[in-house]
């Protein structure tokens, strides 16, 4: 994907100003034993065998997002400068999060446990 350096600056600025979202997705499941009959032919005669297998069965799903309002957020990205000096620039994005203090981590763990 090729963009001008101005467009790259704008994109990165929008990303840095955007409010982060940390999603939790939970899927509850179990494995159920199933059976199926297989027919094969030996010497022209059908031979029926039973094959047992386990199939994953999803029973419930839930989706939630972390509410940052109690602990705040900050962006620790380094500044991007002088893109216009280079004819070609490759930009890699990496997202991670960490807690600013123990109370923020506790709030995260509390919300996740609900």
DSSP letter, residue 84: G
pLDDT tens column, 13-52: 998 888 888 899 999 999 999 999 999 998 889 999 999 9
**0.75 exceeded by pTM:** no
| Per-residue pLDDT reduced to its tens digit, 52-74 | 999 999 999 999 999 988 888 88
Q: What is the pLDDT of residue 57?
A: 97
Contact 53, 36 (CB under 8 A): yes
């Amino acid at each position: 994907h090729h963009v001008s350096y101005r467009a790259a600056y704008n994109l990165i600025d929008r990303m840095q100003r955007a409010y982060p979202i940390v999603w939790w997705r939970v899927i509850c499941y179990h494995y159920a034993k199933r059976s199926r009959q297989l027919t094969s032919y030996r010497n022209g005669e059908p031979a029926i065998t039973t094959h047992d297998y386990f199939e994953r069965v999803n029973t419930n799903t839930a989706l939630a997002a972390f509410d940052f309002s109690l602990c705040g957020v900050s962006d620790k990205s380094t500044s991007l400068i002088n893109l216009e000096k280079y004819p070609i620039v490759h930009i890699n994005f990496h997202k991670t999060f960490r807690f600013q203090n123990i109370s923020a981590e506790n709030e995260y763990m509390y919300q996740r446990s609900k």
